[in-house]
C-alpha cells in the first residue's frame, strides 16, 4: 500500500488582478501544505485569470504572468503544485500549466485541444500544442522543459488533461495511461451551465476507471470576468469511484478538497487494462521529467475538506431551481464586489422579472451569510458594517443582521404612471419589505405628460393611442430610467436591468427604459421557466434558506407591461403569444436552426391544443420580431451565461443586425398553411 494525499482547490480569481490572484494561490498552497497534501492541482490560467480575452495577446501580460509565477515559486517548498498561465513559445501563445515542485519550476505542459464553441474563444488567443511534441523554453537564461510531458515526482508519475482536453474525442489520458502515469490532473475553467456538473463527474469517473489512475479535477469559482459563472466543485476519483467532491457555488476565495489515494491500487488496476500500444510520438525519449521530491508523511488530519462535501440539494428533486438560484446569486455577489459598487438598484414593477431579480440579490446575501459571519459578508461587499444583534454570524447568523445587510445593498423603486394599478404597487412594496430592502415610490406621470406635450407640439398634432401606441408605451418605460439611474449614481450602486431571454428574443422591451442597467442577471433565462422558478421560490426555496411567501402577490398576476390604459387589459402573452409557445419557437428556430416551416410543424406536434393556423401566426410573429430586434440584443447589459441556449451576441448567438427578415421562408410557411 502506497498512500499519498492529493488535492484540488477551486479559486475565485479576477482577470489581471496580479497581486490578488497571487495571494489567493499562495494561500491555497499554504492551506494544502497544512493538510499534508503532496500534490495540489489549481485551476486553468489561475495566474492571469481565464477571462483576459485579447489581453492574452499582450507581451506585457505574458511577461507579468511569468513574474508572478516566479513570485509563487518559493511558496511551493515541500509540495508539488500546478498553476496555469499563458506562455509564449516560438511564434505562438499557449495555454500552459506550470509544475512547481519543492520551491522551483520544473516544467510546463500545454493544452492540446482548445475550446472554440459558444462562449469560448480560445483559438483566437492560443495555439493547440501538438501531441507528442517536447522542447525547451528559455526565459531569462532559465531552460524549462515544455510540451506533452509527464512528471516523476519522487516515484509518483503525473500527467495532465487541461480542461477541454478531457472533453475531446481523443483525450490525452489514453496516451498518458500507456506511459504509466499514476495521477492525471485536470486544471479547468469550466463555466456553469444547467446539468453540466453531471457530465464533468462522468468524464472524471470514466477517466479514473479507463486509465487506471487517480484523477483530480479543479475548477474556477465565482463570477470571474463578468458573464461566466464558475461553480467550482473539485472532483477526485480513483479506480472508477469518487474519492472526494467539493462544494459548488461557494462564496469563499478558495475551497480545497483532498483525498488519500493508494498508488499501488491504481497501478494494479492499470496493469490489468487492455491498452493500445504506444505510438511513435508517445514513445519519444525525454517525455518524463524526474523530480527529486519526497511526499509528506501521512498523518491524521481534520477531514472537513475531504470526502463528499456536496450539499444535500445536489441529490434532491429541484437541482435546476437550486442551481439557478445559487449561480445567479454568486454571480451578482462577485459582480458587486469586483466592480467596487455599493449595492443594487432595482426598478420594481411588482411583476415576475423585477421580483426575481430582487429575490436573487437578497439570496446572494443570505447564502453568503450561511458561510461566513454577516460582518465578513459586509466587508467583502464593501458596504458599511451592519449593526449586530449579538449573534455570532455564519450559519446561525441572526435574521435581523442579515436583513440589515440586505437593506444596505438592495434598493427597490416602484415607479407609477396613470396606468399603474394597486395590485402591482402592493406586490412590489410587500416583497421589498419582506426581503428587508430599502423601498421608494416615484410618480413619473408628470414626466410622461411633459414629454407627450413637448413632442405633440413638435409634430403639430395631439398624440393618441390609435396612431401612437408604441411611442406612448415606450415613453412611460423611458421616463422611469433617469430617476433610478440618478439614485444608483448617488449611492454608487449598480442599476439592474430586469429583462429576460424571452423578451430579448422578440425585442419586447424598451431600449433605454426597462433595459437600462449595468447588469442583466436574468437575460439568459426564459420567462416560462422563470415563472416556474418563482412558484418554487414561493413554496419551498433554496435548501437552508427557505421560501419567500410574499411572492404569492406576484405569482397570481398575468405578466403585463402595464403601459396601455387599464381598459385595454394588456398582458404580455396577448401582445406576443403564450410564453411556452414563444420559448419553444425560440429553441427550435435559434438553438436548432430550423426554418419557419419546420418550426411551425414542430409546434403543431408540441402544442396540439392550439389551432395550426394560430400557431402559424405566432411562428411568423416570432421570426419577424427576432430578425427586427438584433440591434436590441446587441445593446443589452451583460448577462450571465446559464445554459447553451443563450441569446447574447457577444458570447453565444450571433445574428446580423440587418437581414432579409426570412421573407422567402415566411412565404413558404404561409403557402403551407393554405394547403
Phi-psi bin for 222: left (phi > 0), alpha (psi -120 to 50), beta?
A: left
pLDDT given for residue 389 in this prediction: 47
Q: Angle of helix 481-491 relative to helix 469-479, nearest 10 degrees?
A: 20
Indicate the pLDDT class of residue 308, thresholds 50, 70 and 90: confident
Provide the residue count of the chain. 675
Indicate the pLDDT class of residue 299, thresholds 50, 70 and 90: low
State the Rg of the chain over Cα.
27
Strand partners, 206: none
Which phi and psi angles does 564 have, rounded to 5°?
-90, 165
Rounded to whole angstroms, the Cα distance separating 127 from 339 reads 31
Q: Which domain holds residue 622?
A: 570-675
pLDDT tens digits for 325-357? 999 999 999 999 999 999 999 999 999 999 999
Residue 105 lies in a domain: yes
Q: How many structural domains does the chain have? A: 2
Q: Point out the domain boundary residue: 226, 260, 291.
A: 291
Residue 334 lies in a domain: no
Q: Which of 523, 428, 531, 434 is nearest to 480 (CA)?
A: 428
Q: Which of 415, 443, 438 is nearest to 345 (CA)?
A: 438
**What is the overall mean pLDDT for the chain?**
94
CATH of the domain at 664: 1.10.10
What's the first-to-final CA gap in the chain, in angstroms?
76
Residues 148, 172 contacting (CB under 8 angstroms): yes
Rounded to whole angstroms, the Cα distance separating 418 from 472 reads 12
- Edge to edge, the sheet with strand 410-416 lists 438-443, 410-416, 344-347, 494-496
Rounded to whole angstroms, the Cα distance separating 532 from 527 reads 9
The residues near 263 (Cβ < 8 Å, ≥ 6 apart) are 2, 3, 4, 156, 182, 214
Residue 276 lies in a domain: yes
Rounded to whole angstroms, the Cα distance separating 345 from 413 reads 8
Residues 528, 583 contacting (CB under 8 angstroms): yes
Count Cα neighbours of 429 within 13 Å in the Cβ-side half-sphere.
Answer: 11
How does DSSP classify residue 50? G
- How many Cβ atoms are within 10 Å of 282's Cβ, its own excluded? 18
pLDDT tens digits for 609-649? 999 999 999 999 999 999 999 999 999 999 999 998 889 99
Rounded to whole angstroms, the Cα distance separating 282 from 133 reads 9
C-alpha cell at 258: 483532498
Residue 394 lies in a domain: no
Rounded to whole angstroms, the Cα distance separating 180 from 176 reads 6
Residue with cell 424571452: 502
Residue 111 lies in a domain: yes
Number of H helices and E strands in the chain, helices first, is 24, 21
* Pairwise pLDDT comparison (281 vs 110), residue with the higher score: 110
pLDDT tens digits for 31-47? 999 999 999 999 999 99
pLDDT tens digits for 351-398? 999 999 999 999 999 999 999 999 999 999 998 766 544 444 443 447
Residue 417 lies in a domain: no
C-alpha cell at 647: 441569446
Residue with cell 437550486: 322
The residues near 502 (Cβ < 8 Å, ≥ 6 apart) are 508, 526, 527, 528, 579, 582, 583, 586
Looking at the chain, the whole-number percentage of residues with pLDDT higher than 90 is: 89
Residue 349 lies in a domain: no
- Edge to edge, the sheet with strand 150-153 lists 241-245, 235-238, 214-218, 183-187, 156-160, 150-153, 288-291
Q: Point out the domain boundary residue: 236, 259, 291.
A: 291
Rounded to whole angstroms, the Cα distance separating 548 from 352 reads 13
CATH of the domain at 150: 3.60.110.10
Q: Which of 117, 247, 119, 245 is nearest to 193 (CA)?
A: 119
pLDDT given for residue 658 in this prediction: 96
Q: Point out the domain boundary residue: 291, 321, 345.
A: 291
Rounded to whole angstroms, the Cα distance separating 10 from 245 reads 11
Q: What's the pTM?
A: 0.94
Residue 475 lies in a domain: no
Residue with cell 412594496: 429
Residue 78 reports pLDDT greater than 70: yes
Residues 102, 32 contacting (CB under 8 angstroms): no
Amino acid at each position: 500500500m502506497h498512500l499519498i494525499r492529493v488535492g484540488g482547490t477551486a479559486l475565485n480569481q479576477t482577470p489581471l488582478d496580479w497581486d490578488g490572484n497571487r495571494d489567493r494561490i499562495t494561500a491555497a498552497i499554504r492551506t494544502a501544505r497544512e493538510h499534508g497534501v503532496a500534490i495540489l492541482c489549481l485551476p486553468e490560467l489561475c495566474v492571469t485569470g481565464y477571462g483576459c480575452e485579447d489581453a492574452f495577446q499582450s507581451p506585457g501580460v505574458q511577461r507579468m504572468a511569468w513574474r508572478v509565477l516566479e513570485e509563487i515559486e518559493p511558496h511551493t517548498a515541500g509540495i508539488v503544485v500546478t498553476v496555469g498561465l499563458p506562455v509564449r513559445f516560438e511564434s505562438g501563445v499557449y495555454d500552459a500549466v506550470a509544475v512547481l515542485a519543492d520551491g522551483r519550476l520544473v516544467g510546463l505542459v500545454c493544452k492540446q485541444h482548445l475550446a472554440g464553441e459558444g462562449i469560448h474563444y480560445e483559438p483566437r488567443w492560443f495555439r493547440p500544442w501538438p501531441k507528442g511534441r517536447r522542447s525547451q523554453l528559455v526565459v531569462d537564461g532559465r531552460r524549462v522543459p515544455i510540451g506533452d510531458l509527464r512528471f516523476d515526482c519522487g516515484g509518483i508519475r503525473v500527467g495532465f488533461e487541461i480542461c477541454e482536453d478531457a472533453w475531446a474525442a481523443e483525450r490525452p489520458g489514453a496516451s498518458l495511461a500507456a506511459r504509466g502515469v499514476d495521477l492525471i490532473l485536470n486544471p479547468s475553467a469550466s463555466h456553469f451551465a444547467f446539468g453540466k456538473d453531471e457530465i464533468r463527474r462522468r468524464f472524471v469517473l470514466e477517466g479514473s476507471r479507463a486509465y487506471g489512475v487517480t484523477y483530480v479535477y479543479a475548477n474556477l469559482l465565482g463570477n470571474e470576468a463578468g458573464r461566466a459563472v464558475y461553480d467550482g466543485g473539485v472532483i477526485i476519483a480513483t479506480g472508477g469511484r469518487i474519492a472526494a467532491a467539493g462544494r459548488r457555488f461557494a462564496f469563499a476565495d478558495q475551497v480545497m478538497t483532498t483525498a488519500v489515494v493508494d498508488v499501488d491500487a491504481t497501478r494494479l488496476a492499470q496493469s490489468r487494462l487492455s491498452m493500445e500500444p504506444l505510438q511513435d510520438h508517445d514513445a519519444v525519449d525525454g517525455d518524463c521529467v524526474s523530480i527529486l521530491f519526497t511526499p509528506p508523511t501521512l498523518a491524521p488530519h481534520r477531514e472537513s475538506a475531504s470526502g463528499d462535501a456536496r450539499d444535500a440539494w445536489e441529490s434532491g428533486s429541484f437541482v435546476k431551481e437550486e442551481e439557478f438560484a445559487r449561480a445567479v446569486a454568486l454571480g451578482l455577489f462577485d459582480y458587486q464586489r469586483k466592480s467596487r459598487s455599493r449595492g443594487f438598484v432595482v426598478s420594481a414593477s411588482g411583476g415576475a422579472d423585477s421580483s426575481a431579480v430582487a429575490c436573487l440579490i437578497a439570496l446572494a446575501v443570505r447564502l453568503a451569510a450561511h458561510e461566513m459571519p454577516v460582518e465578513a459578508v459586509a466587508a467583502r461587499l464593501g458596504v458599511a458594517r451592519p449593526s449586530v444583534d449579538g449573534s455570532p454570524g455564519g450559519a446561525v447568523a441572526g435574521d435581523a443582521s442579515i436583513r440589515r445587510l440586505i437593506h444596505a445593498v438592495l434598493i427597490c423603486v416602484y415607479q407609477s404612471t396613470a396606468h399603474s394599478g394597486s395590485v402591482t404597487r402592493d406586490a412590489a412594496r410587500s416583497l421589498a419589505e419582506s426581503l428587508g430592502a430599502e423601498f421608494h415610490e416615484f410618480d413619473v406621470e408628470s414626466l410622461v405628460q411633459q414629454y407627450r406635450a413637448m413632442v405633440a407640439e413638435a409634430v403639430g398634432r395631439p398624440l393618441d393611442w390609435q396612431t401612437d401606441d408604441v411611442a406612448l408605451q415606450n415613453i412611460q418605460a423611458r421616463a422611469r430610467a433617469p430617476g433610478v439611474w440618478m439614485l444608483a449614481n448617488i449611492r454608487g450602486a449598480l442599476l439592474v436591468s430586469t429583462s429576460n431571454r424571452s423578451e430579448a428574443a422578440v425585442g419586447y422591451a424598451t431600449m433605454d427604459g426597462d433595459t437600462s442597467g449595468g447588469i442583466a442577471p436574468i437575460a439568459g433565462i426564459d420567462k416560462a421557466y422563470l415563472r416556474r422558478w418563482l412558484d418554487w421560490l414561493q413554496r419551498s426555496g433554496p435548501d437552508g434558506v427557505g421560501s419567500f411567501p410574499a411572492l404569492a402577490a406576484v405569482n397570481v398576476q398575468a405578466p403585463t407591461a402595464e403601459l396601455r390604459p387599464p381598459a385595454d387589459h394588456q398582458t404580455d402573452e396577448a401582445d406576443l403569444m403564450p410564453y411556452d409557445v414563444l420559448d419553444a419557437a425560440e429553441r427550435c428556430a435559434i438553438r436548432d436552426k430550423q426554418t419557419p416551416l419546420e418550426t411551425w410543424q414542430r409546434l403543431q406536434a408540441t402544442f396540439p391544443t392550439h389551432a395550426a393556423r394560430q400557431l402559424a401566426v405566432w411562428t411568423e410573429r416570432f421570426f419577424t420580431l427576432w430578425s427586427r430586434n438584433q440591434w436590441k440584443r446587441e445593446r443589452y447589459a451583460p448577462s450571465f451565461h446559464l445554459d447553451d441556449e443563450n441569446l447574447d451576441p457577444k458570447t453565444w448567438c450571433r445574428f446580423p443586425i440587418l437581414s432579409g427578415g426570412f421573407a422567402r421562408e415566411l412565404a413558404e410557411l404561409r403557402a403551407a398553411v393554405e394547403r
